[in-house]
Amino acid sequence: MMILAILMGLIMLGVVGYLIGAYNNFVSLRAGIDSSWSDIDVQLKRRDNLIPALVETIKSYMKYEKESLTELINQIHQTKQSSNLNDIVLHESQLNQSLSRVFALSQNYPELKADTTFINLQTQLSTIESDLQNARRYYNAIARDYNAKIDSFPDMFIAKEFGFTHANYFDIDEDIEKRILKVEL
């Protein structure tokens, strides 16, 4: 009888230990998601702070392209006002399309392409976009691991019990992103 009680106690201790470990793993992955989102946010802010300087630089050259420049500024404001990931992804995609359009239009202005301030800003923006792409990949990798844990047995029961929900991915149109990353000097 004593052996059975000890055995049951060890089994219960093992189950409780597993539950605590699984819960802590969920918490750790969620913290990783939050941390990697902060990295993305830093890159977005760096880029958003650079774009007005870019617009000011190209404004004098692209006098007939005010609509594209205004659209770019409006996209920055909409992105900054976004509060959830789905809205941010939508507005980031639109902002990237606007940036791509402005860079394509800038190719029609040889004086602008030769402007050192423009070249410097375009290079900085390309670097930021590359850093943003890396931060997004890291975020999506952690989100994938977290979501896989939520979907796996028996962790799905722990996730449901403690309210852990799936993380959204941060995906941007890769074709647009590649056009922005390409700096033509």
- Full domain range(s) for residue 92: 2-181
Give the predicted TM-score (pTM) of the model.
Answer: 0.74
Average pLDDT over residues 50-78: 79
| CATH code for the domain of 168 | 1.20.1440.20
Q: Which of 28-32, 65-69, 77-81, 109-113 has the highest mean pLDDT?
A: 28-32
User: What is residue 173's predicted lDDT score, i.e. its pLDDT?
Assistant: 60
CA dihedral 161, 38, 143, 129 (to 10 degrees): 160
Average pLDDT, the chain: 83
Domain tally for the chain? Answer: 1
Look at 98 and 133; give whichever has higher pLDDT.
133
